[in-house]
Structure 1
Amino acid sequence: MTSSDPLPVETDDGVRLWAATSGSGVPVVLCHGGPGLWDMFGDLADLLADTATLYRWDQRGCGRSERRGPYAWERTLADLEAVRRWAGLERMVLAGHSWGAQLALRYTLDHPGRVGGLVYIAGTGIDPPRTWREAYEENFQERMGVRLGRWAELKERERSAGEEREFCVLRWSADFADDGLAHARRMAEPWFDVNFDCNAAINAEDRLTWGSAELRERCRACPVPVLIVDGEKDIRPRWSVNSLAETLPRVSRVVLENAGHLPWMEKPGEFRHAVRDFLAGCR
């Protein structure tokens, strides 16, 4: 399949999800971050178009997908399974970014026979979020610099639609190694409203379940090869990922210098090289 036209995915409870496919090669299903955001993988898909057939989708209630819940971990995992069936894949590589890396990991642990490899991009490991959250907040404030005042002003009051976009762009600018406003504005094109209900519901589940001994044991038993790709200057402390890297039995890790939370945007050549090498072993 090489068409870039959007195609509908219908879940088992009747919710319609936006999806699209492009490229040619190893089948790779992409899982975007959030929760509550949408697919921002246009540049990444272009980088890998000659290596992989890429399947992109907006998660339930997000972006171009139908804005209807429920919003929960098990529901999102079932939606990812619906995408796999829509794509007609018996096996696939999963590539997830940020929270989407956690989603891709959970699906891999649940269905290792359906996953030929996992590309874990800028995730935060398997320890509880509280272990790294304080360091993240400190790094965020430092990286924001002079933009912090305006962001804080918007944070404390009701925002118009235009101000909501500005608020997110300002926050996302801290996700890049250098002055990230241009990159952050690119992330916001096209713009869709953030689904804060989805974000709150799934993050609440994370706080209850992430970091469990059961999750750690399941990672130790995971037979699937995993590539962890980090940006050295991600404001989410990279030591948070050690909890995962030290647990998986078949893992390699690439840390890209002078890159932040979206390493394919700041270091496209190095990112492409690392992922292409990994995909070559997943055929």
Structure 2
Amino acid sequence: MTADVRTEDGCRLWADQAGAGAPLVLCHGGPGIWDYLGPVARLLDGQARVIRWDQRGCGRSQRRGPYSVGRFVADLDAVREHLAGPRTAVLGHSWGAHLALRYAIEHPERVSHLIYVSGTGIDPERGWHPHYERNLRRRLGSHLSRWEALGARTLTPAEERERAVLQWSADFADPDAAMTHAEGMATPWLGINHDCNRAINAEVKQELRESDIAARCRALDLPVLIIDGPEDIRPRSGVDSLEKALPNCERVSLAGSGHLPWVENPQHFRRAVAAFLTSLP
């Protein structure tokens, strides 16, 4: 069931909810793209009332700023208030994992469980990115030259979609299925908000350099589940310091999966999340 959420500054956010039970709010990655977590909602709708939303300026939400981590934390709180109630579990993927973590740090009394899927950690030097670039180029293989050629010029919407599909294909461990999975992520194609992407990425880098987020994680008194795919082209060692900082954390690595572990190992993903959600808050 779709719904519109209005933030206190008047921005309209697209949202959807399905299933029954305690609420679980999903935060998609990007930044600058739309919610692609429908398959996660379908996996978990027997365990929770799953709420998805498009972040401000992205997908089906209103195309307006400002684009900042603090603003997105406030938007997530608006989704929680309108659709989830006083307290909810929160699951974030990739950039959305950082958003979910920041939300839990800012509003721990409003979060029952935090699920951190395929995030990139809290290390201030962001040392994962060179490894990501090398692994991306290696996994693109025969598609590398086309991906590079598209990146060297101004793109039509069709070309932008093509380049995104090529890049997203590297996020899957199985090369035979990777393009099919990436095409699924890009359908329907709702466009990339590059202004949002640049602003949020720059702020996250600055935030990790200038704030002691590890200390705030050490004070976070709620259960956290970290889920990784060992074949993710972003080095999973980047999350080690986050795992060590969290006082109530478990970590699950789902064999045979990359950046989107629910796609390539759905049964174990559902089992891990369901068991965690039924644990005592």
TM-score (norm 1): 0.96
Q: 1:233 maps to what in 2?
A: 231
Give the Cα–Cα distance (whole angstroms) in 2 for the partners of residues 269 and 156 of structure 1.
40
**1:223 is aligned to 2:217:** no
Number of the residue aligned with 2:12: 16
C-alpha distance after superposition, 1:64-90 (max 9, x if no partner): 000011111111111011101111511
Alignment of 1:1-283 (within 5 A): 4=1, 6-128=2-124, 130-179=126-175, 180-212=178-210, 214-282=212-280
Task: Decide whether the 8 Å contact of 1:93 with 1:282 is kept in 2.
Answer: no
Report if aligned partners of 1:26, 1:279 keep a CA contact under 8 Å in 2: no
The one-letter amino acid of 1:156's match is A
SS at match of 1:210: helix
Q: Which runs of 5+ in 2 are unaligned?
A: none
Matched-pair contact (CA < 8 Å) for 2:55–2:61: yes
For the residue of structure 2 that corresponds to 1:30, the secondary structure is: strand
Structure 1 distance, partners of 2:233, 2:258, is 7
Q: AA paired with 1:233?
A: E
Deviation string, structure 1 residues 236-263 (Cα, Å, up to 9, x no partner): 0000010100110000000011100000
- CA deviations over 1:192-214 (Å, ceiling 9, x no partner): 01000000011111121115552
Distance in 2, Cα, partners of 1:276 & 1:246: 23
Q: Is the 8 A contact 2:24 2:84 kept in 1?
A: no
Q: Which amino acid aligns with 1:254?
A: V
What SS class does the counterpart of residue 69 from structure 1 fall into?
Answer: coil
Question: What letter matches 2:279 in structure 1?
Answer: G
Cα drift, residue 274 of structure 1: 0.4
Pairwise CA distance, 1:272? 0.4
SS at match of 2:62: coil
Alpha-carbon distance change, 212 to 89 in structure 1, aligned in 2, over 3 angstroms: same
Residue identity in the other structure for 1:264: W
Q: Distance in 1 between matches of 2:46 and 2:81?
A: 23
Structure 1 gaps, min length 5: none
Higher alpha-carbon deviation: 206-215 or 50-59: 206-215
On the 8 A contact 2:232/2:258 being kept in 1, the answer is yes
Instruction: Assess if the C-alpha contact under 8 Å between 2:25 and 2:84 holds in 1.
Output: no
1:116–1:157 distance in 2 versus 1, CA, 3 Å: same
Give distance in 2, aligned partners of 1:213 and 1:60: 24
Q: Tell me the distance in 1 between the aligned counterparts of 2:33 and 2:85.
A: 25
1:149-190 deviations in Å (ceiling 9; x for gaps) = 100000000111111100100000000002210000000111
Inter-partner Cα distance in structure 1 for 2:212 and 2:59: 33
Could you tell me how far apart the structure 2 residues matched to 1:57 and 1:128 are?
Answer: 29
For each residue in 1:112-160, what CA deviation from the matched residue of structure 2 results, as whole angstroms up to 9, or x when unmatched?
Answer: 1110010000001101353111111111111111111100000000111
